[in-house]
Amino acid sequence: MNLSSGVPDELVATVEAHGKAVAAADNAVVLADFLPDRVGQLIASADVPTRLTGCQVRSITAVGDGRYDAVIRYVEPGDEWFELRSRWVRFEDGTWRVLSVRNIPDTPPWMDLAGPSDDGLDGPHWDGLREGKLLLQRCPGCASWIWAPRPICPCCHCFELSWEQVEPVGTIYSWTRTWQPFGPEATGHLPYVVVLVELPRAGGCRVLGVLAHADGVTPRIGARVRGRMDAAPDAEHWPLIRWQLEAVRR
């Protein structure tokens, strides 16, 4: 086990007992380790198989403000394994409790809400993603870029709108880190970062997306990002564009 300097002995004992409780499916003990106001969130945060055969605490690291991150490896039948990282804080009664937990490495979720709308206005956008392209609406009359899709141009009221390919490069206009599992598909992927990306090559249109590799990252407003098309994992889902921070050139 790798321990950073100053990790309290009672925290080490608590983390070890917690790992054994998870492996043994002792839900009463597991829930008692959660912060009382985070129980619902934490239950849905991590994706944990129903059968486990053992566990091992890999590391406990101080992350500041009296908080510690613990990485626990769990073993499944067949000797397959996965890891969870939990953040521990001192509760008001003096015990150590879990503030957050996630599967590692981090992976972005596939949202069931993704896909063409019922009115079909955004159909070409999703078809473009299937071809590895970012397509946005544009008015041939006044050259205005349009997002979200509309039946007529909001500037000149032209009805004959087209779709043009845009290079998926932009800057972060705003962002938020999502901790709550708003749908079952988010389990095992929390927390994740949603970014609103401004596209300078599309008239400043702003599109929403998930920031990839955002575990432990605090995005900066104005940071450059580039989109990557992720193919759908199965026939029930649509491709999605994931945004990645670009390296700063010096």
**147-203 pLDDT per residue, tens:** 999 999 999 999 999 999 999 999 999 999 988 877 778 888 888 999 999 999 999
Position 64: which residue type? G
* Spatial separation of the C-alpha atoms in residues 222 and 175, rounded to whole Å: 11
- HSE at residue 70, side-chain half, CA atoms within 13 A, is 27
* Spatial separation of the C-alpha atoms in residues 211 and 62, rounded to whole Å: 26
Mean pLDDT value of segment 10-38: 97
Domains of the chain, CATH where assigned: 2-104 (3.10.450.50), 123-132+165-245 (2.40.50.840)
- What pLDDT is stored for residue 180 in this prediction? 82
> What residues form DSSP beta bridges with 206?
198
Q: In what order do the strands lie in the sheet with 96-104?
A: 2-3, 54-64, 67-75, 81-90, 96-104
Mean pLDDT value of segment 67-94: 97
- What pLDDT is stored for residue 44 in this prediction? 86
Mean pLDDT value of segment 237-248: 88
Over 60: is that where the pLDDT of 250 sits?
no
**118-153 pLDDT per residue, tens:** 999 999 999 999 999 999 999 999 999 999 999 999
What predicted TM-score, i.e. pTM, was given to this entire model?
0.80
**38-78 pLDDT per residue, tens:** 998 898 889 999 999 999 999 999 999 999 999 999 999 99
Hey, CA dihedral for 117, 123, 129, 133, is it positive or negative? negative
Over 90: is that where the pLDDT of 108 sits?
no
* Spatial separation of the C-alpha atoms in residues 201 and 164, rounded to whole Å: 11
Residue 101 pLDDT class (50, 70, 90 cuts): very high
